[in-house]
């Protein structure tokens, strides 16, 4: 990994991704160090999920380098690195079995499997049930996964991701589709992660989900990282208005940023 410091968790350098005629990533670079907690923001289609797929080794760039947890993708066994990464995304929910009991869905996280085809060791079952209790779903352990609400499924995914005690937890819009109450409960669970000494990378469209635990923000636009750094430096009206093409104001309350759209100057560009 060359001259990088050992505590660099993610180092993405000058990533370009070409698909057919399109340039999806256009020289994106991002460095995340241990002890930092990051939020990634950007408009639809800006390249956020593509960056996450590269961080988890599911996609490879046309050019540029990706180092995660001390390994360079393309020169290491990606599956070994993936065992140290938790990934929460809607596409993962769709791959899980709706008929399996909830505790079993959680237990698969121990091995990064989607389903079990062999006996599950007792200590793994107990760990899964314990984590379900931690996210407030202990009572649902025996229910089929498909009977849970959307919000409950997201929490199951969180418990599943924690089974392997990942060093890096990547959350792609974990609160999408949740009502206000479910969203706040999931955010509180996410906040507890900060005390587990793991690095969290959290993608969202909603500024108010940037809880006090998050220290840094990256803004993606047209396949480039247009701003990245401590959150108070990135979440300014100037930077956000430029990124979203809207006249915006940011209010900080309870340690969280809340966005307001100013009616003057013509609104949407």
Ligand X SMILES: Nc1ncnc2c1ncn2[C@@H]1O[C@H](COP(=O)(O)OP(=O)(O)OP(=O)(O)O)[C@@H](O)[C@H]1O
Q: Which is nearer to ligand X, 88 or 140 (CB)?
A: 88
Among 19, 192, 260, 262, binds ligand X (CB under 6 A): 19
Q: What's the CA gap between 8 and 38, in Å, rounded?
A: 13
- Closest CB to ligand X among 145 and 202? 202
- The beta strands (E) that lie in 74-177 are given as 85-88, 168-172
Is 61 among the residues that bind ligand X (CB under 6 A)?
Answer: no
From the list 16-24, 84-92, 94-102, 149-157, the region that binds ligand X by CB under 6 A is 16-24
List 11's β-bridge partners, or say none.
31, 67
CB burial class (10 A; 0-12, 13-18, 19+) of residue 16? middle
Q: Which of 243, 214, 244, 246 is nearest to 229 (CA)?
A: 214
- If binding is defined by CB under 6 A, does position 37 make contact with ligand X? no
Nearest distance, CB of residue 200 and ligand X, angstroms: 17
Cβ closest to ligand X, residue 44 vs residue 123: 44
24 binds ligand X (CB under 6 A): yes
CA torsion 93-96-100-104 (nearest 10°) is: -90
Which region, judged by CB under 6 A, interacts with ligand X, from 18-26, 65-73, 101-109, 231-239?
Answer: 18-26
Do the beta carbons of residue 217 and residue 234 sit within 8 Å? yes
Which residue in 154, 157, 156 sits closest to 141, CA to CA? 156
Q: How far is the CB of 193 from ligand X (least distance, A)?
A: 22
Binding mask 39-58 for ligand X (x = CB under 6 A): ---x-xxxxxxx--------
Q: Which residues bind ligand X (CB under 6 A)?
A: 19, 22, 24, 42, 44-50
């Amino acid at each position: 990994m060359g001259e990088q410091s050992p505590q660099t968790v993610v180092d993405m350098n000058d990533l370009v991704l070409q698909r057919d005629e399109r340039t999806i990533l256009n020289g994106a670079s991002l460095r995340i160090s241990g002890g930092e907690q990051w939020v990634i923001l950007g408009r639809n289609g800006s390249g956020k999920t593509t960056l996450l797929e590269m961080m988890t080794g599911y996609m490879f760039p046309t050019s540029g380098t990706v180092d995660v947890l001390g390994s360079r993708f393309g020169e290491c066994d990606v599956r070994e690195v993936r065992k140290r990464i938790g990934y929460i995304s809607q596409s993962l929910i769709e791959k899980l079995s709706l008929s399996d009991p909830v505790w079993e869905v959680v237990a698969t996280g121990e091995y990064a499997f989607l389903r079990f085809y062999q006996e599950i060791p007792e200590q793994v079952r107990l760990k899964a049930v314990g984590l379900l209790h931690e996210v407030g779903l202990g009572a649902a352990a025996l229910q089929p996964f498909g009977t849970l609400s959307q919000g409950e499924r997201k929490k199951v995914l969180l418990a599943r991701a924690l089974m392997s005690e990942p060093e890096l937890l990547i959350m792609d819009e974990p609160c999408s589709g949740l009502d206000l109450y479910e969203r706040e409960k999931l955010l509180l669970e996410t906040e507890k992660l900060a005390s587990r000494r793991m690095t969290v990378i959290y993608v969202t469209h909603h500024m108010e989900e940037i809880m006090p635990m998050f220290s840094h923000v990256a803004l993606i636009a047209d396949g480039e990282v247009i701003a990245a750094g401590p959150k108070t430096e990135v979440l300014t009206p100037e930077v956000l208005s430029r990124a979203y093409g809207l006249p915006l104001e940011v209010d900080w309350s309870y340690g969280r940023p809340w966005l307001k759209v100013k009616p003057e100057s013509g609104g949407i560009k």
